[in-house]
Chains A and B, each alone.
Chain A
Amino acid sequence: MGVIREFIKGLRVTGGTMLRTITGEELVTTEYPKEMRQKPPRFHGRHVLNRYPDGMEKCIGCELCAGVCPAKCIFVRGMDNDPENPTSPGERFGFVYEINMLRCIFCALCVEACPTEAITMTHLFEMSTTNREDAIYTRETLLMDEKGGVPHMFPDDELADMDELAVADGWVKATAPSGMASYQGVKMWQGTPGPGDWDPEPGQSELDARSPTEDDDG
Chain B
Amino acid sequence: MSWPEFGIIAFRVVVTFVLLLVVTVINVWAERKILADMQSRIGPSRAGPWGILQTVADGLKLFFKESVIPRKVELGMYLLAPFLAIIPAFLIFMMVPWGKPFMIGDHEVALQGADLNIGLLFILAMSSMAVYGVVLAGWSSGSKYPLLGAVRATAQAISYEAAMGLAMVAVVVFTATQGEGGTLSMAEIVERQTGTWGDISPVLSFVPRWNLFPQFVAFVIFLVAIVAETNRAPFDLVEAEQELVGGFHTEYSGMRFAMFFLAEYVNIFSMSAIAATLFLGGWAGPTFEGSLPGLISGSLPTIYFLIKTYAIVFIFFWLRATLPRLRYDQLMTLGWKRLIPAALTWLVISTVAIGFRQFGAPWS
Instruction: Give A contacts to B, CB under 8 Å.
Output: 7, 10-11, 13-15, 17-18, 20-22, 26-29, 31
Chain A proximity of B274: nearest CB distance (Å): 23
Return chain A residues, CB-CB under 8 Å to B40.
17, 20-21, 26-29
Bound CA–CA A17/B321 (angstroms):
11
A27-B41, A29-B41 provided; 4 other pairs, C-beta below 8 A?
A10-B323, A11-B318, A14-B38, A21-B38
Residue among A7, A18, A31 facing the most chain B CB atoms (10 A cut-off): A18
Q: A21-B37, A22-B37 are in contact. Are A14 and B42 (CB under 8 A)?
A: no
In the complex, chain A residues whose CB is within 8 Å of the CB of B39: 17
Among B36, B37, B39, B321, the most chain A Cβ lie within 10 Å of the Cβ of B37
Are B322 and A14 within 8 A (Cβ)? Answer: yes
One of A7, A11, A18, A31 near B42 (C-beta < 8 A): A31
B323 surroundings in chain A (CB, below 8 A): 7, 10
The chain B residue with its CB closest to the CB of A34 is B45
Complex: chain B residue closest to A12, CB-CB: B322
**Is B8 in the interface zone, CB < 8 Å from A?**
no
A180 to chain B, nearest CB (A): 41
**Could you say which interface size class chain B belongs to?**
10 to 19
Q: A43: shortest Cβ distance to chain B, in Å?
A: 24
Q: How far is the CB of B235 from chain A (nearest CB, A)?
A: 14
Let me know if B322 and A18 touch, CB within 8 A.
no
Any chain A CB within 8 A of the CB of B332? Answer: no
Least CB distance from B34 to A in Å reads: 7
B residues in contact (CB < 8 Å) with A: 34, 36-42, 45, 318, 321-323
A-B contacts, 6 of them at CB < 8 A, read: A7-B323, A14-B322, A18-B321, A20-B40, A21-B40, A31-B45
Q: How far is the CA of A108 from the CA of B346 in the complex (A)?
A: 71
| Given A11-B318, A11-B322, A18:B41 Cβ within 8 A | no
Contact check, A14 vs B321: say whether CB atoms are below 8 A apart: yes
Q: Would you call A18 and B45 a contact (CB within 8 A)?
A: no
Bound Cα distance from A18 to B40, whole angstroms: 7
Please list the 5 inter-chain residue pairs (A to B) with the smallest Cβ-Cβ separation, ordered nearest first: A18-B37, A14-B38, A21-B37, A14-B321, A10-B322
Minimal Cβ-Cβ distance residue in B for A22 = B37
Given A11-B318, A14-B321; A29-B42 close (CB under 8 Å)? yes
**Quick one: given A27-B42, A31-B42, A31-B45, are A13 and B37 in contact (CB under 8 Å)?**
no
Shortest distance between the CB of B314 and any CB in chain A (Å)? 10
The answer to whether B41 and A17 touch across the interface, beta carbons within 8 angstroms, is no
A110 smallest CB distance to B (angstroms):
37
Closest Cβ–Cβ distance, residue A14 to chain B (whole Å): 4
For A18, list chain B residues within 8 Å (CB): 34, 37-38, 321
Q: How far is the CA of A18 from the CA of B34 in the complex (A)?
A: 7
Asked whether, in the complex, the Cβ of B41 is within 8 Å of the Cβ of A13, the reply is no
Given A18-B37, A22-B37, decide whether A13 and B42 contact each other with a Cβ distance below 8 A: no
CA distance A26 to B41 in the complex (A): 9
Chain A residues near B45: list those with CB within 8 A.
31
Contact residues in A for B38 (Cβ distance below 8 Å):
14-15, 17-18, 21
A13→B323 CA distance, assembly (Å):
11
Determine if B321 and A28 form an interchain contact, defined as CB atoms under 8 angstroms apart.
no
Cα A26 to Cα B36 in complex, Å, equals 12
The CA-CA distance from A15 to B322 in the complex, in Å, is 9
CB distance from A153 to the nearest CB of B (A): 27
CA distance A132 to B39 in the complex (A): 39
Whole-angstrom distance between the alpha carbons of A130 and B45 in the complex? 27
Q: Please report the C-alpha to C-alpha distance between residue A29 and residue B40 in the assembled complex, in whole angstroms.
A: 7
**In contact, B322 and A28 (Cβ under 8 angstroms):** no
Q: Which residues of B have CB within 8 Å of A31?
A: 42, 45
Separation of A29 and B33 alpha carbons in the complex (Å) = 13
